Each structure stands twice: as structure tokens, then as C-alpha cells.
Amino acid sequence: MAAAEPGAAPGGGGCGPAAGGSVPVLFCFSVFARPSSVPHGAGYELLIQKFLSLYGDQIDMHRKFVVQLFAEEWSQYIDLPKGFLVNERCKVRLVPLQIQITTLGNLTPSSTVFFCCDMQERFRPAIKYFGDIISVGQRLLQGARLLGIPVIVTEQYPKGLGSTVQEIDLTGAKLVLPKTKFSMVLPEVEAALAEIPGVRSIVLFGVETHVCIQQTALELIGRGLEVHIVADATSSRSMMDRMFALERLARTGIIVTTSEAILLQLVADKEHPKFKEIQNLIKASAPESGLLSKV
């Protein structure tokens, strides 16, 4: 699913004054209307996340949507005003547009960015199949360098958890950033993405699947980006956590795939000038493990 950005519209930037805490909101989609609540001051992104949590199994992820607000002064719905914040009880709806997203699942180097999440030394003894995901992650980064794809890397609290493992070569990475937030979607990351024209797809891998990977993926689709999670390059301490996270993410329209599928989709044609190098990379570094049997 991609949600259209809110634009300027009559009706102002909020529902009206209210105290802090949670604010009741009626979330409408299709023939359904479900009451819920959001934090006081919640904006567009939190509304999108709430729609996904309430209706994720019913939303056609191949469509674009617009969020609308019921405006009492007009007695009808209007497009969500730019900068809108929820300040009092209100009613919003998610409306499918007629435009189909025909590129869903397609990858091109010019519109793709790789996200490498928290592949750090202190995780080595705890994460299942950690050696395998290091090997696959390194393969992906080599492929990114060959194809000229930007790479963004984060490290979770490196003071306590160490830096990215030595086996992962970060040469040429656009950004290597420490963080404490679980999601990779930090202001610095958003600024880096804004510098890259035409970004449509994020290839995401690292640890842990059910924490940082999951939260990053959900934030990215909330911003209208297409997310591809590399199943053979992401893991958790618990295989149950990993399995349920991947299942949940797939149901929300995130594409769960493999490193080989990603790299071959990016070259697309055996006549691609980098095909032989990508093919040799795949042949030379494909680990045989039980990780994919755990998807």
C-alpha cells in the first residue's frame, strides 16, 4: 500500500483543542468503521500505522490510498490537511484511488537503496545463523557496489553492542549511523534518502527480524516506500519471533524474498554489463544452511 501525502486543504491543521493523552478517533475503511485512539498530537504517519493495524488484512496493497478527514464545516470528508494533528475526537477514512501500482515488486538500481541493520559483533553469539546472514549481507553489499546502489547502515548502541562485524565491508556506504531507536528511520536517514532522486524501493536486511527490521519496514511503508526484506539475511535470537515477524510483514504488503532473487532482479538481463560479476558473486558465496527452511 502507498498512501498519498496530505496536501493543503480547507479545514486547518487539527481537530481543535484538547487535553493531552489519548484522543478517540473513528477509523473508516470501505463499509467498516472501527473506533480506536491515538496519542494527542498524532499526525499523518501514526494514522497510517493505525489503519494498517486495524485493517491490514483487508487492504489491497497493490493500490494507492488517500487519508481523508470528516470536516463538520463542510459536512463531508476532505483530504487530510497538510500538517494535520489530532487534537480532539474526529473521524478519518482511508480511500483507495483508481491508480494501480503497476511497479509493485519490481526493482531497478536507479530507484533502490539497501538498508543494512545492526549487524554487530555483540549479536554474534545470540542470533541464530548469524554467520550465514553475515555472508549473505556481505554478498548484498558487494552487489550494491557493483550496481551503484546506495547503502545505509545503522548500528544499535555501538558503545555497548560494538561496531558492525569486520566481515561486512562498508566501503562506499552512503551513511553509517549509530542509533538507540529500534527503527532505522531516523532524521539523518530520511535526509539521506531525500538526497537520492527517485527512490522507490528499500532492500532491508540485518537483525533482529522481529524488532529493528520489523519496525523499520513498517515505518518505510507508512511513508509510501516499497520494502523488500531479504529472508536469508535476517534473523533473530528466536526462530519463532523471526517466523511470525516475516508472516506479519508479508501480510502488510512487504515483499519477503532472497538475496539471489534481489540481485538477479536488479540486473534483469544476462546482457546486463554486470551480469557475469553478479553471477560469480552468487556462485561463490551462497551458504547452505537451514535458515530459509525456517521462513
Inter-residue contact 147 to 237 (CB < 8 Å): no
Annotate 139-201 with DSSP letters as a single string: HHHHHHHHHT--EEEEEESHHHH-SB-TTS--TT-SEEEEESSSSS--HHHHHHHHTSTT--E
Considering the candidates 15, 132, 212, 232, report the single residue annotated as catalytic: 212
What 8-state DSSP symbol labels residue 13?
Answer: S
Considering the candidates 118, 128, 132, 232, report the single residue annotated as catalytic: 118
Residue 118 is a catalytic residue:
yes
SS3 102: coil
Inter-residue contact 61 to 104 (CB < 8 Å): yes
What distance in Å separates the CA atoms of residue 104 and residue 97, rounded to the nearest whole number?
A: 15
Residue 179 is a catalytic residue:
yes
Please state the φ and ψ torsions of residue 175, each to the nearest 5 degrees: -150, 130
C-alpha torsion sign, points 176, 182, 187, 190: positive
Residue 57 is a catalytic residue:
no
Please state the φ and ψ torsions of residue 203, each to the nearest 5 degrees: -100, 120
Residue 105's Cα: distance from chain center in Å?
Answer: 13
What distance in Å separates the CA atoms of residue 93 and residue 97, rounded to the nearest whole number?
A: 13
Other residues' Cβ atoms within 10 Å of the Cβ of residue 44: 20
* Nearest C-alpha neighbor of 230 from the set 85, 216, 219: 216
Considering the candidates 90, 91, 179, 232, report the single residue annotated as catalytic: 179
Specify the pairing of strand 201-207 against strand 175-179: unpaired
Residues designated catalytic: 118, 179, 212
